[in-house]
């Protein structure tokens, strides 16, 4: 059965008053989803239908799971086609699991606020051009607890009217795009969970290289907390911002989408090391991040050059490793210093508006930044 036909048939036949027993047509169809072989699922994805346990759900749904990310609906991230309570529409949504969260947030209001907070965070980690087309806020026309949780848990969504359902080809393409959004959100979610809690001390875990396990490009990426912190000085308590940590975190998430593996774990005092076996089997990329203060790039550039050369020599070449590619990373445009750094064999990358990155010709050639 094609996806389009499946969605329409469930919408037309589902009746929560009929229960969940075998022999109820829509419920049988939902149970059959996991065995369907002609759904346009992206590679590595599986699907399952859900119509409720015990009592029938007012908002039946079909979960689409990336086996490399998460295969359960109780927690984690997944995709879902959720029908509203009237079955007049179905929404393809990038969902957070809501069940396990009830243990930590037993009150519905607290749980909904936490889901919305997490959704905002995850949404910020999506590729902006894609996310802009998935900004629908789901409304499932139900006052019941679970549908309201689904609404709050949605990170990105597209709504389809059953009466004007898109073609099978269009649905397949939008499911493919949703799978990319899921990948981006999962990367952001993984990094977020690895960051220290508010009261946890910031420490580096040892020195030197650590072996990386599996195929996850974010193994070994442990950016420090980017929230503000406070110091006590004579005359009172003063806030100190951490743009440096935020810079490293955001750039690490950015390069993952371009085939790099960002590593901070075990790399102290280096800010960040990148690996990209498909591009260079031997050499790594050594990244030093600097915050440009009050528009004055001079000091930031000087510090970046000194540390890159020092770390390259002592932490790579003196240990018998190939000399790494050198990358200076900045919070803003460094102007004519980009040419200066290029002359010294250092690529440069800096933030630009719209959560994007620009860089020198070498950085562009390495696909670390746009021109």
Backbone dihedral angles phi then psi of residue 28, each to the nearest 5 degrees = -60, -40
Domain spans in the chain, listed from the N-terminal domain onward = 3-192, 206-365
Alpha carbon distance 119, 111 (integer Å): 12
Predicted structure pTM score: 0.56
Q: What's the average model confidence in pLDDT over 336-357?
A: 91
Q: Which of 301, 354, 295, 324 is nearest to 127 (CA)?
A: 354
Q: Please, which pLDDT band fits residue 219 given cuts at 50, 70 and 90? A: low
Q: What's the average model confidence in pLDDT over 191-195?
A: 46
Alpha carbon distance 99, 93 (integer Å): 17
Q: Is the dihedral of CA 91, 92, 96, 99 positive or negative?
A: positive
Name the CATH architecture for the domain at 3-192.
Answer: 2-Layer Sandwich (3.30)
Write the pLDDT tens digit of every residue in 233-256: 344 443 334 677 889 988 998 888
- Which of 36-45, 75-84, 253-262 has the lowest average pLDDT? 253-262
Q: Answer yes or no: is pLDDT of 365 > 60.
A: yes
- Which of 121-135, 288-302, 310-324, 332-346 has the lowest average pLDDT? 121-135
pLDDT cut 90: percent of the chain above it: 57
Write the DSSP assignment of 136-165 as a string of letters: -----S--SHHHHHHHHHEEEEEEEEGGGP
Contact predicate 14/29, CB 8 Å? no
Q: Please, which pLDDT band fits residue 223 given cuts at 50, 70 and 90? A: low
3 state SS of 11: helix
Q: Which of 238, 235, 254, 257 is nearest to 246 (CA)?
A: 254
């Amino acid at each position: 059965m094609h996806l389009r036909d499946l969605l329409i048939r469930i919408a037309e036949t589902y009746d929560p008053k009929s229960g969940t027993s075998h022999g109820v047509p829509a419920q049988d169809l939902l149970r059959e989803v996991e065995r369907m072989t002609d759904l346009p699922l992206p590679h590595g994805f599986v699907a399952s239908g859900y119509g409720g346990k015990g009592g029938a759900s007012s908002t039946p749904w079909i979960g689409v799971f990336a086996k490399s990310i998460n295969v359960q609906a109780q927690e984690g991230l997944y995709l879902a086609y959720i029908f509203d309570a009237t079955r007049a529409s179905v929404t393809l949504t990038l969902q957070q699991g809501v069940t396990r969260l009830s243990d930590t947030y037993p009150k519905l209001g607290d749980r909904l606020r936490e889901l919305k907070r997490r959704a905002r965070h995850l949404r910020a980690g999506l590729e902006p051009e894609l996310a802009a087309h998935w900004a629908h806020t789901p409304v499932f026309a139900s006052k019941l607890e679970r549908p309201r949780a689904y609404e709050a848990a949605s990170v990105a969504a597209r709504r389809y009217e059953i009466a004007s359902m898109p073609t099978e080809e269009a649905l397949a393409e939008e499911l493919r795009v949703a799978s990319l959004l899921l990948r981006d959100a999962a990367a952001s979610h993984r990094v977020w969970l690895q960051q220290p809690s508010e009261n946890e001390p910031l420490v580096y875990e040892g020195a030197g290289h650590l072996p990386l396990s599996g195929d996850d490009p974010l193994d070994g990426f442990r950016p420090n907390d980017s929230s503000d912190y406070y110091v006590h000085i004579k005359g009172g308590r003063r806030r100190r911002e951490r743009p440096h940590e935020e810079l490293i975190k955001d750039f690490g998430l950015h390069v993952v989408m371009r085939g790099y593996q960002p590593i901070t774990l075990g790399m102290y005092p280096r800010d960040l090391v990148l690996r990209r076996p498909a591009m260079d089997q031997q050499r790594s990329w050594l990244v030093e991040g600097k915050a440009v203060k009050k528009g004055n790039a001079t000091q930031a550039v000087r510090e970046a050059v000194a540390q890159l050369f020092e770390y390259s020599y002592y932490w790579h070449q003196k240990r018998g490793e190939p000399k790494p590619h050198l990358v200076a990373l900045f919070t803003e445009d460094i102007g004519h210093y980009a040419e200066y750094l290029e002359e010294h064999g250092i690529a440069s990358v800096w933030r630009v508006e719209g959560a994007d990155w620009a860089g020198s010709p070498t950085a562009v050639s390495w696909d670390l930044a746009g021109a």
